[in-house]
Structure 1
Amino acid sequence: MSQWLYTGLVALVGLERLAELVVAKRNLESSLSRGGREYSFGHYPAMVALHTGLLAGCVLEVWLADRTFVPGLGWPMLALVLAGQALRWWCIRTLGPQWNTRIVVVPGLRRVEGGPYRWFSHPNYVAVVIEGLALPLVHSAWITAIAFTALNALLLSVRIHAENLALREVYA
């Protein structure tokens, strides 16, 4: 896979993220209009910066460090990227109007326990972890993979704790 093709892949992931934001904005407005409450907004800007940094880091490392495509690593990582995307959109579809990039809970709605949520409490974060490791490694951007994975682990510890508190408050 050429550097140009990889850059196109990262751009497609970026477009997918923009599509997520459109869905999230629509769902946020709908949730707030139904009495939803947003929890723990403070970490959200860091999350946006980190995810933007992932995409930028992938492209910059491949071009500036002249990373090569290693088929034995790249193709399996591409398969993981695609699996992560499929899992993410399964989560979005399962949660429907309750899905959001922010932590918003609407009182009176039932907690979703179907789809991937019957096996994991936070399957969307499984998709994020997979993508954050695999997308850079498609084209051997190992520094980006390590940096994102480490920073994302810290962020997810805050995020999951905040989400669990919000869910306990509403569904207790």
Structure 2
Amino acid sequence: MTRRTEFADAALRLVARGGLEAVSIRTVAAEAGWSAGALQKTLGTKDELLTAAVERMTERVGARMAALPQTGDLATDVAALVQETLPLDAVRREEGLVWTAVAGRAATVPWMADVLRDQDATVLGWLTGAVGHARPDEPDPAAVASTVVALADGWTTRLLYAPEAADEVLRALDRALALLLAPVDTPHP
């Protein structure tokens, strides 16, 4: 593990425990077990540190998604991908807390908005392509992809304050995907 990764992971833990305000050069260095000077040689500013943390979070999620087996069934495969973003365990809860903290601040901090837009573009591009390939009769695969992302974002927020709703959210995910991904010429189930 690189020093940058250690610092990014430490920042993720701090944001998950105390929000963006918990992150400083001093607090992240202490959390990682390094000196503030060592951190500043690797990541010179708080903005660089937070960017590295968000990149690390998306790297972790992306690695889990890439490791998922492809079943060939679009709804099953998309459900598995969405579940990797939902706070259904301690690691994904940490990521969800970081994501919501950054998303909340992105409305007024342009570089945070840029990081999230880049992440959205990657996810939306993949989903749009997958929907278009699996459902060539779908007139607007980008709208379907955007709907899936919006639902996942909302469910993430809900599960952060109501983790006991996990079973209900997973049922809703399956139902929503059945409706969204049904062939266009077939009545919705």
TM-score w.r.t. the length of structure 2 is: 0.27
TM-score w.r.t. the length of structure 1 is: 0.29
The structure showing larger relative contact order (alpha-carbon pairs under 8 Å, at least 6 residues apart) is 1
